[in-house]
Amino acid sequence: MTDVTQILSEIEHGDHAAADQLLQVVYDELRKLAAQKLAHERPGQTLQATALVHEAYVRLVGSADEHWDSRGHFFAAAAESMRRILVENARHKRSRRAGGEWRRVALSDVQVAAPQPGVDVLALSDALERLESRDPRKATLVKLRYFAGLTNQEAADALGISSATADNDWAYAKSWLKMQLSPDATNSS
């Protein structure tokens, strides 16, 4: 943990070589998190974990006004960056130029009774924005747990709350999001 925090401090003070060093230290962990998140995406996802990590990293380190206080803060920012990239990718795929609502189906897949749908990233993002307006801490906890892949204890440490509070927030956020993402949700709550 101290290595990452030290490197982040060096980056903040303008050491450009520290950015390369940071990538070497956190790359494997970010790659695992990205692969885990992409595994939950809908079938036909063209974004690879490596590309997601690289894009998120470029956005994080390339931003001149970003300052991280700790390893947890950095990974929270990485989770948010990955979420935004996945949302942008999903929006692009839904655009008219990219085929809109049309879904490519292979002939061999036609006989499958019902494909298992993945998480609708756009719906999740919209629901997270609504949750964030109601309770920013719970929304941040979801981002840390879902997008960054942090454990409950790691997320609690990053947020500066107890593990019991994180457990309660996680249970609330999961049930609230489930209601928001259900097909019959009115989205007015």
- Taking the C-alpha atoms of residue 98 and residue 180, their distance in angstroms, rounded to an integer, is 27
- Taking the C-alpha atoms of residue 127 and residue 176, their distance in angstroms, rounded to an integer, is 9
DSSP annotation of 97 reads: T
Q: pTM for the whole thing?
A: 0.52
Domain count, the chain: 1
pLDDT digits (tens, 9 = 90+) for 84-131: 888 888 787 776 555 555 566 555 544 433 334 566 778 888 899 999
Averaged over 23-29, what is the pLDDT? 79
Give pLDDT, residue 163: 92
pLDDT digits (tens, 9 = 90+) for 122-157: 888 889 999 999 999 999 999 888 888 888 888 898
Report if residue 43 sits inside a domain.
Answer: yes
- Taking the C-alpha atoms of residue 95 and residue 91, their distance in angstroms, rounded to an integer, is 6
Averaged over 56-73, what is the pLDDT? 72
Report if residue 102 sits inside a domain.
Answer: yes
Report if residue 188 sits inside a domain.
Answer: no
Report if residue 187 sits inside a domain.
Answer: no
Question: Is 42 a residue whose pLDDT tops 70?
Answer: no
Instruction: Give the domain range for residue 148.
Output: 2-181
